[in-house]
Structure 1
Amino acid sequence: MLGRTAHSIFWMYRYLERAENTARLLEAGHRMSLTRAEDAANAEWRSVITTLGMRGDYEQHFDDYTGAHVCDFVLRSKLNPLSVLTMLEKARMNARASRSAITGEVWEAVNEGWMVLSDMLARQVKESDLGTVLASIRRQSTLVRGATHGSMLRNEIYSFARTGTFIERADSTARILDVKYYLLLPSLAHVGTVLDTSQWDNVLQSLSGERAYRWLNSGRMDSRSIADFLILDPRFPRSLAFCYSALRENLSALAQLHGEETDAHVAMRAAEMALSDRRIEDIFDQGLHEFLIEFIASNQTISNTIAEAYRFTA
């Protein structure tokens, strides 16, 4: 496979995963804002922008954090180079560039999703329509994922697709956790209060883990058990442990297909071993924020190493 084709596949699935994760985060922010006073609601919207890494760009154009401004900026604004609409366009562009490598079903799912959502996002989304639009973003990503699982050979194309998905998913989970713990909670005095509990519940909803967590923990809501679930539980498909297990499996498949391991495999194996050796007590002793910043940087290094190893710019 040419490096540029591998690049297109990898980034097509990264952009689709990022668009879906953004929709989930916006939905959680919207849900929280409906139950809060105006100042607190604006703080929730600011945390959404911060989590997405868009604060610098956003504050160049707006001096407030109203729901209307945040949602429009994140979903469709031409002022935002990382808007959901831009990500969907880039996913479609990469799908077109690699069309000979993907199945017709995958191309149709990507193209149809882009057409549906481009129409929905052609104008500013009304608050009354926000839930429908966010559900559609999640649904279109799910359709592509279903087409991928149901129609693609388990070859290097599939492995690059899954690698892109889980690199992006791990980054998203880590960023959402970090913003909650380091930025979202106003004061240590709120730890263990109703506000703290509602924010952790918001984190679980952002990652579609609320029902699974409550089922496993009998409704107990505390920071350590939730962090343990989202970081170290290999059963939850958005946990850091699950993402890295899936990354290792797909990189191993690539090594078998190519007949050799690369620096990416060495970096991935070291990162997964370091994560599997951690207990949640060790992570909190180190500092959750410090651990997550370290994880995000390591995850980016692995992504860069994959690009170098498989000549994504070739």
Structure 2
Amino acid sequence: MLGRTAQNLFWLSRYIERAENMARMFEVGYRMSLTSRREGGASEHLISMMQAAEVDEGFDAKYKLADVKSVADYMIFDEANPSSVKSCLLAARTNARSVRTALTTEMWESINAAWLEFAAIRPRDISGAKLQELLFWIKQVSHRYRGALLSTFLRDDGYAFSQLGNFVERADNTARILDMKYYVLLPRATMVGGEVDIAQWTMILRAASAHRSYRHVYHDRYKAWNIADYLILRPEMPRSLAFCVDWINRTVHMLEDIYGTRTGAHDAVDAVAELLEGNSVDRIFEYGLHEFLTEFINRNNRITDALAESYNFY
């Protein structure tokens, strides 16, 4: 496979997953914002969400107040924000057009239809219940594309690069969703363990679509330690860091089988896996949840660089 084709397939999956993840992060920030507001009307939870997503500087340069409308505009519709839902869907469609012949009809149609439908939305009409409906629709767009990929795509190197893009992006997002707790609770450590703290952890669990399955695993009320364990170390939870890293590891070995060689990408994946192997949530909290997640995100980012170098993305 040409390096450019591999690159387009990798980033196509990343952008589709990122669009869903931006909707998830905004939704949890929005739900948290209903419980607390800073002086002047700026929501600390919307700000913490943008800090975790690393888009706060771009927002601050354009907007004066972090209210629901301005943050929604920036996170969903603003083309100047490269991580906005609109930017991600447009980039996904552009990548898909570049490798149109490498995609199945179902994969292409799911992306093209999603973009055409999104492009027809007028941002000024989106508020309240319509905002919630839009966030749900964005997540459904990602699910439809993933369903088309898993149901129709040949299990070859193109499939491998697509899966790598999906799970590298998903791991990044789960780590960032968890890291929102750091930004929210940093100014007021006395809240840790209280009712507000647990409510925020619960919203984060919902952002990962894990609030129902959590009960099946722990048979207990929501607890911060268990929630962190569930989203970091549980290999059966499909958005956990452990689950994503396992898929990334299996997929780089699939590429090794296809091309007959081990590359620097394997070393980058091993470096991420080392953070999780034999670890426990107690040790993670003792080390520092924010510090652990920051290191995870940095190592996870290096996988993309290693893949680009190993498989000639440039």
* TM-score scaled by length of structure 1: 0.95
Looking at structure 2, the residues matched to 270 and 178 of structure 1 have their Cα atoms a distance apart, in angstroms, of: 20
Looking at structure 1, the residues matched to 58 and 29 of structure 2 have their Cα atoms a distance apart, in angstroms, of: 19
Instruction: Give a deviation string over 1:47-68, Cα, whole Å, max 9, x none.
Output: 2211221110100111211101
Looking at structure 2, the residues matched to 270 and 81 of structure 1 have their Cα atoms a distance apart, in angstroms, of: 28
C-alpha deviation, 1:170, in angstroms: 0.5
Looking at structure 2, the residues matched to 148 and 52 of structure 1 have their Cα atoms a distance apart, in angstroms, of: 27
Q: Larger deviation: 70-79 or 155-164?
A: 70-79
Contact 1:42 1:65 in 2 (8 A): yes
Query: Counterpart amino acid of 1:22?
Result: M
Report the CA distance shift for 1:131/1:159 in structure 2 as closer, same or farther (over 3 A).
Answer: same
Question: How do 1:158-237 and structure 2 match up within 5 A?
Answer: 158-180=159-181, 182-185=182-185, 186-237=187-238
C-alpha deviation, 1:215, in angstroms: 2.4
Residue number in structure 2 paired with 1:56: 57
Query: Counterpart amino acid of 1:12?
Result: L
Report the CA distance shift for 1:100/1:287 in structure 2 as closer, same or farther (over 3 A).
Answer: same
Query: Counterpart amino acid of 2:3?
Result: G
C-alpha deviation, 1:310, in angstroms: 0.5
C-alpha deviation, 1:37, in angstroms: 5.4
How many residue pairs get aligned? The number is: 312
SS at match of 1:120: coil
Report the CA distance shift for 1:178/1:122 in structure 2 as closer, same or farther (over 3 A).
Answer: closer
Residue number in structure 1 paired with 2:111: 110
Instruction: Give a deviation string over 1:182-209, Cα, whole Å, max 9, x none.
Output: 2111411111111100110111111111
Residue number in structure 2 paired with 1:265: 266
Residue number in structure 2 paired with 1:96: 97
Q: Larger deviation: 225-234 or 274-283?
A: 274-283
Looking at structure 1, the residues matched to 21 and 59 of structure 2 have their Cα atoms a distance apart, in angstroms, of: 19
Residue number in structure 1 paired with 2:308: 307
Looking at structure 2, the residues matched to 15 and 151 of structure 1 have their Cα atoms a distance apart, in angstroms, of: 20
Contact 1:72 1:125 in 2 (8 A): no
Q: Larger deviation: 135-144 or 121-130?
A: 121-130
Contact 1:255 1:261 in 2 (8 A): yes
Looking at structure 2, the residues matched to 261 and 117 of structure 1 have their Cα atoms a distance apart, in angstroms, of: 41
Question: How do 1:26-41 and structure 2 match up within 5 A?
Answer: 26-36=26-36
Root mean square deviation of aligned Cα: 1.6
Say yes or no: does 1:83 pair with 2:101.
no
Looking at structure 2, the residues matched to 123 and 68 of structure 1 have their Cα atoms a distance apart, in angstroms, of: 9
Query: Counterpart amino acid of 2:69?
Result: A
Contact 2:171 2:240 in 1 (8 A): yes
In structure 1, stretches of 5+ residues that fail to align are none
Query: Counterpart amino acid of 1:105?
Result: E
Contact 2:175 2:241 in 1 (8 A): yes
C-alpha deviation, 1:300, in angstroms: 0.8
Query: Counterpart amino acid of 1:282?
Result: R
C-alpha deviation, 1:267, in angstroms: 2.2
Query: Counterpart amino acid of 2:82?
Result: P
Residue number in structure 1 paired with 2:138: 137
Contact 2:74 2:84 in 1 (8 A): yes
Looking at structure 1, the residues matched to 54 and 96 of structure 2 have their Cα atoms a distance apart, in angstroms, of: 25
C-alpha deviation, 1:293, in angstroms: 0.9
Contact 1:8 1:94 in 2 (8 A): yes
Query: Counterpart amino acid of 2:223?
Result: D
Query: Counterpart amino acid of 1:153?
Result: L
C-alpha deviation, 1:17, in angstroms: 0.4
Looking at structure 1, the residues matched to 287 and 239 of structure 2 have their Cα atoms a distance apart, in angstroms, of: 23
Looking at structure 2, the residues matched to 104 and 160 of structure 1 have their Cα atoms a distance apart, in angstroms, of: 18
Looking at structure 1, the residues matched to 271 and 32 of structure 2 have their Cα atoms a distance apart, in angstroms, of: 38
Q: Larger deviation: 124-133 or 191-200?
A: 124-133
Report the CA distance shift for 1:78/1:152 in structure 2 as closer, same or farther (over 3 A).
Answer: closer
SS at match of 2:63: coil
